[in-house]
Chains A and B, each alone.
Chain A
């Protein structure tokens, strides 16, 4: 199949399809239906070509590069798709494909209210930007592609601009992503000043020219810059407002794929361009990963808006990916390249898995929101009877994200655990604590994520409806179900073939020059996945077969043994009183215990305001409003002081702008004198 069309041609066809999709949506500005179909179908075509291109590069090693230089550096196009970039192109294309299939039906909900042509234009530009970001090989071109991606996603975030909170979320996202871009720009400029070029290969070749202190500065700048995009704590403040604001298939792309471009650049810079970093780089990334995963899942537990909950889970999973990446950098710094491959494979596998199940969960949430017109989980309930297929796919997504066997999430968390455990077994005393902290964070995160998804699935789909809207919901459209169903099947398939996929990912890692010819630390044969050190092994095949086989056996045995028993349907045991919708557990009530236990970290607040029937006597209450919130720690302790500081400095410098033209002429004169003095000396 790959002989028919070369990887390079397929990639360019895919880029072309997205360009055409964007342009065509502008042409069909007036016609909603045509714009919808045109943009999504061309996105599907582009994704298919992207899949072909990436699979061709990964499976047959046909890496390619392409460069056009023009006069000015800003117009240079420089692409280099090696196996790592192809992996990310694969992830982008896969999720874009399924999000577009879902989108064809989902976008119909926006027909009368917003302009579909604009949506199609920005959607295709967004995916185009992401593809160019992972393929870029020149720092300037990279920044251009990064900017395209950020701007397009900003417009998508504020697409539903009639809601004020969406516009506010968009502004926060805009500012944060440009702060990140500033850090990235600084790091690239530092690299340029020491190696003399913006091209990644040239930088890599001359990296020895950069002194170690500057390398660490570049590391910190890149960590901050790409970390803002990835959503590490404490740079995550834009994520929980921006991801829910966008239309759902875009949220799936943003959460599943866009934040992974930050991870891509982490791998590119920390393990490909500047691979010789000291130990504390890996330890810092590990600590950030552990903290992000724990705090992400704890904040997710406080949410009752279903899309914000999923956005916080993205932060948690980025933390898990960083745990794998951090352990890879950690081993690499000690020269243990084989174990570093283990960590890197765990990080990349979790990237793929998270993209699949987060997209699945977002698409499911979008279907529910489209039918019930609210994002508040407290108003759902009983939807499993009205939307059975959506509920089933959401359940599979919940099981995958809680790392339950036999789905794919379990295997990537298992791999991350194994890389941390291998580190524990070989590390020195001072480094052990970081690994124990990471492993402990991962252990607690797994359990808390399962708790959060019991809450999310249970409050949304189970028991009885809690509002009128939930009583009248209907099943989602066919294309939406197809999008979700394929993703659900993928969680199971990737879980089943996990060993084989891990081996492919290890070949991708071997493609990086720092890991060339390094032994892979595991073996995946047809039935089991073994670590070479003999420390651990797992067999996803046996797990799946035994789960299915034994449950069928138990079901049949019980059925045969109890075939004379009858089942009567009656009302729920309610102790003799009527059960109203207020008596079911609410999403807020479910997580109240955990919030109370972790109140030192989460700082929950409770405000009550009571309205009395007689304001003077204050005996009988008319209304009692209780607001349960989580204090905005990052705003209060990090961003607000920063903002105050910057405002103070700006106010200080405002004194120069006196408004007096004579003063300005004086400034020009003074500067001229100084420049003349400097230039002559």
Chain B
């Protein structure tokens, strides 16, 4: 049974992530008084991209060609080792929050390298901005997850989900502080407002998009899918680690279905939050972003000092 669940977890994130991105876009469209594309539109986009030919630059090397596979692989592996519906995999040595953070860094590393590989003007500065933001986000991200690890006395993500759901109510204030820090880190890593506008056409304001301007066809599909996966991974971590009520502790069928519904609901709420956020504020000027990331770091330190 656990093997079935593990293999389900392998495909759950890639299968569901375009749906949630479609949900965010639909919510944003509704807030803009439009109708917007259907929530299943990202699936159609990916399918169409896989069916297109590719044009590859003559300056590109094997780094450009292999990076999308590595970036996509990393998101699949992380999707398999985070708690989505059940916590039965604690103590199996599979997941550790530092492993998750550094695997994400591996994906970002190759994305930045591929941005520099083609030698156009945009890819280079996109890589520069992305690596700067990634470097500064690590502090807030690691420390907000460290808060959870210290509260749960384990760094195993499944164990954290199990332990946090049993914490007394007095922990709610530090959890909210650490969650705020985690949300800021999530917005930075997944290239949403106020760090980056995923729908912009102005290269001067791009961070993530600038690095993928040169990709086409199936490689573009893999990178876009990996970006969707990363968003779902962060939202799943936020939902299941900070507010894990509803997650299944065993493998009973009713439990798993209920956990799945709870997961869906929590992630949909986060999607709505992101959509409302993106409709309320503007993208920040680039040099205001490090202040925001240091705020995330300080918030998690405050949360840690409240529980120690």
Q: With an 8 A cutoff between CB atoms, is B61 at the interface?
A: yes
Q: With an 8 A cutoff between CB atoms, is A248 at the interface?
A: no
Contacts of B56 in A (CB 8 A): 567-570
Asked if residues A565 and B218 are in contact (CB atoms below 8 Å), the reply is: yes
Answer whether A538 and B96 are a contact pair too, CB < 8 Å, given A446-B105, A450-B135, A593-B128: yes
Contacts of B251 in A (CB 8 A): none
Q: With an 8 A cutoff between CB atoms, is B227 at the interface?
A: no
Asked if residues A439 and B93 are in contact (CB atoms below 8 Å), the reply is: no
Contacts of A562 in B (CB 8 A): 50-51, 217-218
Q: With an 8 A cutoff between CB atoms, is B260 at the interface?
A: no
Asked if residues A584 and B61 are in contact (CB atoms below 8 Å), the reply is: no
Scan B199-233; emit 1 where CB is below 8 A from any A CB, else 0.
00000000000000110011000100000000000
Contacts of B121 in A (CB 8 A): 579, 583-585
Asked if residues A554 and B69 are in contact (CB atoms below 8 Å), the reply is: yes
Question: Residue on A with the closest CB to B124?
Answer: A585
Asked if residues B156 and A462 are in contact (CB atoms below 8 Å), the reply is: no
Q: With an 8 A cutoff between CB atoms, is A605 at the interface?
A: no
Asked if residues A443 and B142 are in contact (CB atoms below 8 Å), the reply is: yes
Scan B85-126; emit 1 where CB is below 8 A from any A CB, else 0.
000000001101011001101101100110011111101110
Scan B70-87; emit 1 where CB is below 8 A from any A CB, else 0.
101110110010000000
Stretch from A192-200, A222-230, A543-551 that touches the partner: A543-551
Q: How far is the CB of A418 from chain B (nearest CB, A)?
A: 8
Contacts of A399 in B (CB 8 A): 106, 109
Contacts of B35 in A (CB 8 A): none
Q: With an 8 A cutoff between CB atoms, is A421 at the interface?
A: yes
Q: With an 8 A cutoff between CB atoms, is B161 at the interface?
A: no
The 8 Å CB contact of B93, one of A381, A421, A537, A565, is A537
Cα distance A584–B122 in the bound complex, in angstroms: 9
Q: With an 8 A cutoff between CB atoms, is A638 at the interface?
A: no
Asked if residues A554 and B135 are in contact (CB atoms below 8 Å), the reply is: no
Contacts of B248 in A (CB 8 A): none
The 8 Å CB contact of A573, one of B62, B74, B213, is B213
Tally chain A residues at the interface, Cβ within 8 Å. Answer: 79
Tally chain B residues at the interface, Cβ within 8 Å. Answer: 77
Contacts of B290 in A (CB 8 A): 597
Q: How far is the CB of A625 from chain B (nearest CB, A)?
A: 23
Scan A561-605; emit 1 where CB is below 8 A from any B CB, else 0.
110011111111110000100011100011111101100000000
Q: With an 8 A cutoff between CB atoms, is B179 at the interface?
A: no
Question: Residue on B with the closest CB to A585?
Answer: B124
Contacts of B45 in A (CB 8 A): none
Scan A433-458; emit 1 where CB is below 8 A from any B CB, else 0.
00010011001101110110011011
Contacts of A462 in B (CB 8 A): 61, 63, 113, 116-117, 119
Contacts of A421 in B (CB 8 A): 146, 149-150, 155
Q: How far is the CB of B283 from chain A (nearest CB, A)?
A: 16
User: Taking each of B62, B109, B123, B290, which has the highest tally of chain A beta carbons within 10 Å of its own beta carbon?
Assistant: B109
Asked if residues B76 and A550 are in contact (CB atoms below 8 Å), the reply is: yes
Stretch from A2-10, A366-374, A526-534 that touches the partner: A526-534
List the count of A-B residue pairs having beta carbons below 8 Å apart.
244
Q: With an 8 A cutoff between CB atoms, is B304 at the interface?
A: yes
Asked if residues A463 and B59 are in contact (CB atoms below 8 Å), the reply is: yes
Cα distance A432–B307 in the bound complex, in angstroms: 12
Asked if residues A448 and B135 are in contact (CB atoms below 8 Å), the reply is: yes
Stretch from A37-45, A252-260, A276-284, A402-410 that touches the partner: A402-410
Asked if residues B57 and A585 are in contact (CB atoms below 8 Å), the reply is: no
The 8 Å CB contact of A405, one of B54, B94, B103, is B103
Q: How far is the CB of B138 from chain A (nearest CB, A)?
A: 4
Cα distance A382–B58 in the bound complex, in angstroms: 12
Asked if residues A447 and B136 are in contact (CB atoms below 8 Å), the reply is: yes
Answer whether A573 and B113 are a contact pair too, CB < 8 Å, given A443-B138, A597-B287: no
Q: How far is the CB of B148 from chain A (nearest CB, A)?
A: 12
The 8 Å CB contact of A554, one of B61, B73, B138, B143, is B73
Question: Residue on B with the closest CB to A446?
Answer: B138
Asked if residues B127 and A568 are in contact (CB atoms below 8 Å), the reply is: no
Answer whether A593 and B93 are a contact pair too, CB < 8 Å, given A454-B109, A568-B56: no
Q: How far is the CB of A53 from chain B (nearest CB, A)?
A: 36
Q: With an 8 A cutoff between CB atoms, is A504 at the interface?
A: no
Chain A 494-542 interface residues, beta-carbon cutoff 8 Å to B: 527-528, 530, 534-539, 542
Question: Residue on B with the closest CB to A529?
Answer: B93
Cα distance A451–B290 in the bound complex, in angstroms: 15
Answer whether A539 and B120 are a contact pair too, CB < 8 Å, given A385-B61, A569-B58: no
Asked if residues A458 and B146 are in contact (CB atoms below 8 Å), the reply is: no
Cα distance A29–B58 in the bound complex, in angstroms: 50
15 residue pairs A–B, Cβ–Cβ below 8 Å: A382-B119, A402-B109, A432-B305, A447-B138, A454-B116, A458-B113, A462-B119, A547-B74, A554-B76, A558-B218, A565-B218, A574-B120, A579-B119, A590-B127, A593-B287
Minimum-distance CB pairs A-B, first 3: A585-B124, A463-B119, A447-B135
Q: Which residues on B are within 8 Å of A, measured CB to CB?
A: 50-63, 69-70, 72-74, 76-77, 80, 93-94, 96, 98-99, 102-103, 105-106, 108-109, 112-113, 116-121, 123-125, 127-129, 131-132, 134-139, 142-143, 146, 149-150, 153-156, 213-214, 217-218, 222, 286-287, 290, 297, 301, 304-305, 308
Q: Which residues on A are within 8 Å of B, measured CB to CB?
A: 381-382, 384-385, 395, 399, 402-405, 410, 414, 417, 421, 424-425, 429, 432, 436, 439-440, 443-444, 446-448, 450-451, 454-455, 457-459, 461-464, 527-528, 530, 534-539, 542-543, 546-547, 550-551, 554-555, 558, 561-562, 565-574, 579, 583-585, 589-594, 596-597
